[in-house]
Every structure is written in structure tokens, then in C-alpha cells.
Structure 1
């Protein structure tokens, strides 16, 4: 007999609905389009940064703030806005944040100075911090636990991961063919379309009783996450021994420890401690963080490899990631069926092993374009494995909680996703920098990228070990 929470497959039975209704299909489409757009925003400006710098007169050191300002707002405020959605209504927060995203994207595309563009990026990050957990909470509360929710989360995970890689492709195409400004403008019609359709098909979702906002908890977790993300970005730019990075990371750790202490004593906590102690929530989010950190940082490593070692253009490198995007979509489409036929734990372990195997295969990359014959199938299959892990993480981290806590659960999941995206690249960048010792030759870059790929593989295997031990059903 089990003495611990079972994973969702144990609750799945033939009595649960197996097919989506017409209304559910429309709701799912609207939410997936919005989440895909939010994922694209994470990477669409990466290849456009030099063009933006030339167009608006950014200094070389100031250019990185285009990405950093977005990451700070998106990761730092996710948990806070996830709880706000629980309190005032997820639909209201979702629609308001999409309106802000559309407006800030328009301002960013029309920007004539660095200050205006950075302000637009901060607003985009805040909109993402609010829309992502609200959209996920609407998704989980619109579909009952079981096959339908697994299918919805599988499609959502596939499009989120595909959106990240599609952003690199789309950013290169728009910048080369039109202007970097279209990397902002492309959000405006999509946001407008969602705002036109969503009010009529999405139902409001909020708890029956509205608790008070835990301001001390909200303040400490938000400041803690901001310090953590800022420290990570500074470590990626200046190295892990840089004083600013160390002070920020230490401050983040202290503030997050204070947050946990506050939550354990608060009458109406922002994040109830019993939720943080729930095995599936805690370890599921660790696995989500590792899954996003490893795959998104691999995109950075392979971009570096293709451009600096193989001499590809930014556009050619971006298009190459279309294969990775196809792999993530395939993995997302298959994930729900795989979980239904096996278990969520099996998906986490099997997906992690598949991702690790094909990430390790990239250790054999050489210095000639012939290596693309290895890179393309390896990224396809590794991406499919990564998506099994991501869908498994989403199902695990949102299971067994009542609807009133789904905004909290999806806020934690969104926070893990965004911190993972922010965390992975500085770690891998630091490994490459240490290995190359400042040399920017093709051979030195290949050596640094190879060492970082080995570290990436090790992190994936760490996730497999955690899933196999921490989420295994205990029996008496």
C-alpha cells in the first residue's frame, strides 16, 4: 500500500473524459497561442542584438541589458503574479497582461532611444511574469486531472519549447529581411487576436474565498528572485568570481531563506509551506528547472559552435534549430500518450535518458560542416526527450492540488521554467570562457563548447537520478 502521494497516472481511469469538447478545443487553442508567443519572446531578440545596438546607439556593455532587463522582470515577479491571479481572477490577470505585452511590444518597436527600449523590455517581462502562470492555471483548471489535462500540458510544453527555438529562427529572418523592429511588432497582432477571442470563451477562475495578500512574503520572494537572476546574469558576463555577482547571489539566498521563514509563520502565506513540502511539487520543480536550463543553454552552445567554429551566419544557425523545434513538438505530441500507457515517472526517466544520450553524442562534433550530419538528428531526438521531461514535470508539479492553489502551482512551475532559462546560459558561458582562456579561435571555441556539453549531459543525468529516487512511489 502506498504511503505517499501517487503521481497522476494512478488517478487516471476509464471514467475520466477522453475527448475534448468543441469549447475546450477553442480554449486550448487560445491559451496555446498565447503561451507560444510568450516563449518566442525569450529568444527572438538574441540574433537581433547587434542590429539593435547599431540602430539605437547602445554601448557594448549596455547591450546585454536588453536581455537582462526582460529576464529580471519575467523571473522575479512570476510567483507574485501567480498568486495575484489566485486572488483577483486568472482570466482578468491573463487578459490584462496580454494587453500590456501588446502595448509594450509596440513601444519597443517604435523606440528611438536605449532608455525607451529597456523600459519596453521591462514591461514585456512583467507581462510575461503575469501571463505565464495565469495562462497555465487557466489551462489546468479548464481540464480535469487525467488524460485531457496531460494532453493539454503536452501540447503546451511542446509549443513553449518550440517557441524558444522558433524565436531564434524568427528573429534572424525578421532582422535580415525587414528590421529588428519587427521582432517587437510581431507580438501586436497576435496579442490583439487573443484579446478579441479569449473573453468570450475562457471562464473566470478564482478561489471562492479571497485571502489577504502576504506582503512580507511577496516582497522577500520577489527581491530574492531579482537578486538571484541579476547575480546569474552578472556571473555569465563577468565570471563567477566577480564581486557584484557574488554579492547578488548571496543576497538572493538570504532573502529566499527569509521568505521560507516568513511563510512558515504567516497566517495567510503567499506560498503555504505544506505546498513547498509536497514531494511532487518540490522535486517536480527541481526537474523543471534542470530541463529548461540544459536545453536552452544547449541552444546557446550550439549557436556559438555553428557561428564561431563552422562559420555559419546568424540566420543559418537559427534555421538549423528548426530541427530541434520539430523534435520538441514531436515529443510534446507523444508525451500524453506515453504517460497514459506507462507513468509520469517513466516519462521523466526515459525522457531524461534520451536527452542525455543525444546530448552526449554532441561530444563527437568536429571542426567541419560535416558534423551537421550528427548535430541535426541528435538535437531532434534530444529535444524529444527533453519534452518528455518537461511535460512530466508540468503534470507532476500541478497534480494533487485544489483549484484554489493552481495559480500557485503554475506560478512555481513558471518560476522554475524562467529561472532555468536564465540559469543555464551563464553556467555554460562560464565553462566555455574558462576553457578558452580568452582565445576566440575555432579550435578553442570547439574545446570550450565540448567541455560545456559534457557538463550539460551531467546535469541531465542528475535530473534522471532525482526523478528515479525522489519521485519513486514508496511502499510499506
Structure 2
């Protein structure tokens, strides 16, 4: 039975010490996933590499987070939440510093895609776990979930604008310097975080489970990413490793081969978890988490909403830069209506949560997003006026802002306190998986086309809109009686 504890006198002081660095950390990680979009052409020219290589680095960043988020969450039960949070900040900052001085795509991928991705996987799970354990009052907890998940949406939405301003005024490298400075400030603020003590008996780390889950997610998303080069049906060109042609042009696209390898690894991962649980050993994540229908539907909506947000931002950014010839700052300003939409609805997320169920908010958010994409397709053209982009982008941003907090609350609320670490890792993993798939799927339509405008642009947005429609349908399946059923006792 759910207990709602009364807010203690120290809640305000705890909030001031904890929520600010946690929200800033979530903001900067989300910012890193979207600010690169407006500088794609600039970075590609500077590093003398194709646009597709920059798309790969963006996808690998979110993919690294998705693949390592569950292991990172488990480490919080072993090393402590504050320790993982600080360690993640250090790794993230080191990656941003390396990316700042990258002279080629290889070093950019090491710093940005790999190290910043690993750092994010370490620091993001503690954000949601600390909010859970430090705020026993359910309404207060929901409020601060709204703050940190709103920071995630704002970071993604404001990333193109801030990144565009910095890139145009200084350099794309300055955006990474900015991240180093913000991470340093967060580390200083985080010293005031008090991490509740962990149980005396801590679980052993499931290394094989971590490797299997990471490989499974990697091959699935990496396979989808190859669609831009090889297509979805028959392969457009030879698929080679070294000098060996594995699949000749005209054969089955390697997309399906790579994705199948990923599915095999994920199947092996599930089998491993079953065996480990049967032997009485702690698995990387308990399969019992996935027996909760409400939580499963919430995780699905999280995946889809981030797929839609990042996929649409990538497509629109590429279109504006390569078809309309916009600079980074012009692209960021064009995406400003979406940022305003996310800000407007995130600001009232707490009040909306008191009046409406998560089911209704998620359903309304997807519905508004679908309308926004439809308006964008109806009005925006290669030579249309600037204002034709604004209505659709605003509605899309508002729709995403409405459902971000609702999905997080629904998922976290459907699981008991003792598995909050696991569900937090799974929740963040599927969100980043959605971001990876969004860039990979929608971007493959544009990158695979000779000119990413006209029909390819419209097709990519229709594909993204299709996933938003699926999200709306999934939201209809969420039980009407879905409530916050967590125990209030940390």
C-alpha cells in the first residue's frame, strides 16, 4: 500500500543542495545529444569528413549511453550513487576536453561518442535514484522528477540554439569547452549531496550480463545506422571487411544481418539472466521488472518520444543546413519555437500532473506532436517563408514537453523502492536507445538520398510521425488506474 510521508522541515534545503546539480547534469547530457545537429556541416568541413560520419558520432554517443546505462545503474548499488555521479562527471569532462582538440573524426568519436557516453551512463542513473531516496513524500518526489526530466527536454530542445550561437560566434569546439566548464561547476555543487548509506551486503557485478546487453544494443542500432549506406532492402554496394566482400551489391542489406546479431546477443542476455536468477545470484537487472504491464508501456513511450524528438531535430537540422544553406546560428534560431514549446509545457508539468493522469498526459503529448509534425509537413517547403516552420515546431515541442515528465513518473512509480536502481537504469537506457534509433532511422532517409530535401525530407518526417502515432496508440493501452504505487520508505 502506498504511503505518503509529510514533507520534513529539511526538504527545501535538501532540494537546494541536490536538485540543482542533478538537473544541471541531466541538462548538459541532453544538450550534448542535440547541439551537434546544428554544427554538422561545419564540423564535417573542418574535419574534412562526410556528414554521415558526424551522424555516426552523434548516434554512437547516444548508443554508448543506451548500451551502458543498465550496467552504470547497477554500479550505483555497488559503489554508491554520489561516487558514480562524480566519476561520471570526470569521465564526461575528460571526453569533452579530448573532443575540443580533435583533429579528425577518430578522436572526436573517442572523446564525444565514447568517453562522454560512458560518463553519461555513470552519472545519469544516480540522478533519478537520488531523487527517489531523498524525497519520501510522493508529491515532492514527483515535482523534482519533473524538474530533472524537464531539464532533459530543455537540454535537447535548447541544444541547437545554444550550440548554434556558440558555433557561429566562436567555434564548434567552444561548445565542448562550455561543457567542460559546466561539468566542473556541477562537480563543485555536488559536494553538498548527501548519499544515504548503501546496504551492508552489496551485489556482485554481472560482467557477462553487461557485455551481452551492450553488444545486443550496439549491433541493433549499428545495423539500423548502416541503412544510410546500404539501404533497407538489397545492398546498394558491396559490404566488406578489409578486402573481403561479405555481401555483394544486390544481396540482402547488411542492416538485417547486423540487427539479427544484436537480437541473438539480447536473447543470450535474457537466457543468462534467467540462469543467474535461478542460481540465486544477482543478475544485471531482474527480469521481474518486465512483468509489470504499466511499466513496460511507460518504457515504450519513453523510447518513442525520444526517437521522435531527436529524429525530427536531426532531419530538420540537416534540411536547413544542406538545402536552405543556413548557418549553425540560423539553424538554432529556426528551431527556437520547439525550444519554447518544451519550456512552456515543462514549466507547468507539475500542475498538469496534479490534474491529469500520466496516461492522459502521454496520450495528449503524442497527439500534439503528431499534429505539429503534420503542420510542419503542410507548411514548410524548400523555399517557403521562415514563419512556416514555427507553428509545427512549437506544437511538436509542446507535445514532447507534456509527456516527458509523465513517462518518467509512470515508470518510476510502477516499481517498488528496492528496484529503483534497476528501473532507473532501464528507463534511461531505453530513452537513449530511442535517441539513437531516431537519428539512425530518420537520418538514414536523408543521408541515403542524393539531396536531402524535397521528397526525402518529407519522407523522413512522415517516418518520425509514424512513430509518434505508434506512441499515441501505446498510450491508449496504459491502464486507466495507473497510479503512483511506490512505497514512500527509502
Q: Scaled by the length of structure 2, what TM-score is found?
A: 0.86
Aligned equivalent of 1:181: 173
What is the SS of the residue equivalent to 2:481? coil
Query: Is the 1:139–1:152 Cα contact (8 Å) retained in structure 2?
Result: yes
What is the SS of the residue equivalent to 1:472? coil
Q: Deviations over 1:67-125 (max 9, x none)?
A: 34423422211111111112221111010110111122122213345443332121111
Q: Please state how far the C-alpha of 1:37 moved relative to its aligned partner.
A: 0.7
Query: Is the 2:73–2:122 Cα contact (8 Å) retained in structure 1?
Result: yes
Aligned equivalent of 2:259: 249
Among 280, 285, 298, the alignment partner of 1:271 is 285
Q: Please state how far the C-alpha of 1:63 moved relative to its aligned partner.
A: 4.5
Paired with 2:62 and 2:186, the residues of 1 have a C-alpha distance of 24
Query: Is the 2:382–2:454 Cα contact (8 Å) retained in structure 1?
Result: no
Query: Is the 1:169–1:322 Cα contact (8 Å) retained in structure 2?
Result: yes
Among 213, 220, 243, the alignment partner of 2:212 is 220
Paired with 1:84 and 1:421, the residues of 2 have a C-alpha distance of 23
Paired with 2:375 and 2:10, the residues of 1 have a C-alpha distance of 39
Aligned equivalent of 2:487: none
Residue 259 (structure 1) aligned with residue 251 (structure 2): no
Q: Identify if the C-alpha distance between structure 1 residues 367 and 68 changes in structure 2 by more than 3 Å, giving closer, same or farther.
A: closer
Aligned equivalent of 2:355: 341
Aligned equivalent of 2:243: none
What is the SS of the residue equivalent to 2:335? helix
Q: Identify if the C-alpha distance between structure 1 residues 54 and 204 changes in structure 2 by more than 3 Å, giving closer, same or farther.
A: farther
What is the SS of the residue equivalent to 1:85? helix
Aligned equivalent of 2:92: 101
Aligned equivalent of 1:3: none
Q: CA RMSD in A?
A: 2.7
Paired with 2:10 and 2:400, the residues of 1 have a C-alpha distance of 26
Q: Deviations over 1:438-467 (max 9, x none)?
A: 452xxx823332233333233222212212
Aligned equivalent of 1:81: 72
Paired with 2:338 and 2:131, the residues of 1 have a C-alpha distance of 25
Q: Please state how far the C-alpha of 1:369 moved relative to its aligned partner.
A: 5.8
Q: Identify if the C-alpha distance between structure 1 residues 353 and 18 changes in structure 2 by more than 3 Å, giving closer, same or farther.
A: farther
Residue 465 (structure 1) aligned with residue 473 (structure 2): yes
Paired with 1:59 and 1:264, the residues of 2 have a C-alpha distance of 44
Q: Please state how far the C-alpha of 1:26 moved relative to its aligned partner.
A: 2.9
Paired with 2:169 and 2:126, the residues of 1 have a C-alpha distance of 35
Q: Identify if the C-alpha distance between structure 1 residues 275 and 205 changes in structure 2 by more than 3 Å, giving closer, same or farther.
A: farther
Paired with 1:371 and 1:471, the residues of 2 have a C-alpha distance of 44
Deviates most, 285-294 or 243-252? 243-252
Question: Matches of residues 13-412 of structure 1 in structure 2 within 5 Å?
Answer: 20-58=11-49, 62-121=53-112, 122-144=114-136, 146-204=138-196, 206-241=198-233, 242=235, 243-266=253-276, 267=280, 268-367=282-381, 370-412=384-426
Paired with 1:229 and 1:165, the residues of 2 have a C-alpha distance of 23
Q: Identify if the C-alpha distance between structure 1 residues 291 and 58 changes in structure 2 by more than 3 Å, giving closer, same or farther.
A: same
Q: Identify if the C-alpha distance between structure 1 residues 199 and 361 changes in structure 2 by more than 3 Å, giving closer, same or farther.
A: same
Q: Identify if the C-alpha distance between structure 1 residues 45 and 461 changes in structure 2 by more than 3 Å, giving closer, same or farther.
A: closer
Structure 2 residue ranges without an equivalent (≥5): 236-252, 483-490
Q: Identify if the C-alpha distance between structure 1 residues 79 and 361 changes in structure 2 by more than 3 Å, giving closer, same or farther.
A: same
Structure 1 residue ranges without an equivalent (≥5): 1-5
Paired with 1:175 and 1:431, the residues of 2 have a C-alpha distance of 26
Deviates most, 195-204 or 406-415? 195-204
Deviates most, 205-214 or 292-301? 205-214
Query: Is the 2:17–2:192 Cα contact (8 Å) retained in structure 1?
Result: no
Deviates most, 355-364 or 85-94? 355-364
Q: Identify if the C-alpha distance between structure 1 residues 18 and 235 changes in structure 2 by more than 3 Å, giving closer, same or farther.
A: farther
Deviates most, 374-383 or 345-354? 374-383
Q: Scaled by the length of structure 1, what TM-score is found?
A: 0.88
